[in-house]
């Protein structure tokens, strides 16, 4: 049981660090999309790149520790926990979101962004919604027939 608790603690720590980054990155994109100041644009390009590269290992470690937790509980537990299947699906959506941030970063780097600040404000809500659903799933562990 001690091993699972350590795995859960690391999983949550890396998840919090990952989410901090993917909450902040779209806010940088909002500022970038809404400015015409060349100096600010160059500063934002650097901030966006460094932030995404900084939080990417946290995403990988979050996934790795989550997988280790599932492995520790075992296959039978995994099959029985339907809420976990929904959580994993949402985590995969979040990993795709994270990957899409690399595409957006490239668009900004090449000055090819065509999206508005409003788009990025809405885009910023995706991980928030996923976080809420995942937390409810993990703590409430609903049963599905």
Query: DSSP letter at 27?
Result: H
Between the alpha carbon of residue 36 and those of residues 42, 58, 121, the distances in Å are 11, 32, 18
Q: d(Cα 60, Cα 63) in Å, to the nearest integer?
A: 5
Q: Residue 10 domain-assigned?
A: yes
* DSSP reduced 3-state for 112: coil
Structural domains of the chain, count: 1
Q: How much is the mean pLDDT over the chain?
A: 97
Are 90 and 130 in contact by the 8 Å Cβ rule? The answer is yes
What's the pLDDT tens digit per position in 90-132? 999 999 999 999 999 999 999 999 999 999 999 999 999 999 9
Give the DSSP letter of residue 124: T
Q: Identify the domain containing residue 66 by its residue range.
A: 2-140
106 within some domain? yes
Residue 144 has pLDDT above 90, yes or no: no
Structure confidence by residue, pLDDT tens digits, 82-91: 999 999 999 9
Mean pLDDT of 55-78: 98
Give a yes or no: residue 73 inside a domain.
yes
d(CA 1, CA 4): 5
Domain membership flag for residue 145: no
């Amino acid at each position: 049981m001690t091993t699972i608790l350590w795995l859960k603690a690391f999983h949550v720590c890396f998840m919090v660090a990952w989410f901090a980054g993917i909450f902040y990155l779209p806010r940088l994109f909002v500022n970038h999309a809404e400015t015409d100041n060349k100096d600010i644009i160059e500063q934002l390009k650097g901030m966006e790149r460094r932030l995404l590269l900084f939080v990417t290992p946290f995403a990988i470690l979050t996934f790795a520790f989550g997988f280790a937790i599932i492995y520790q509980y075992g296959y039978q537990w995994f099959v029985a926990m339907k809420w976990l299947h929904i959580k994993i699906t949402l985590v995969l959506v979040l990993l795709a979101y994270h990957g899409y941030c690399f595409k957006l970063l490239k668009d900004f780097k090449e000055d090819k962004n065509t999206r508005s600040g409003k788009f990025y404000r809405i885009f910023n809500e995706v991980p928030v919604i996923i976080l809420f659903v995942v937390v409810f799933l993990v703590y409430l562990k609903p049963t599905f027939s």
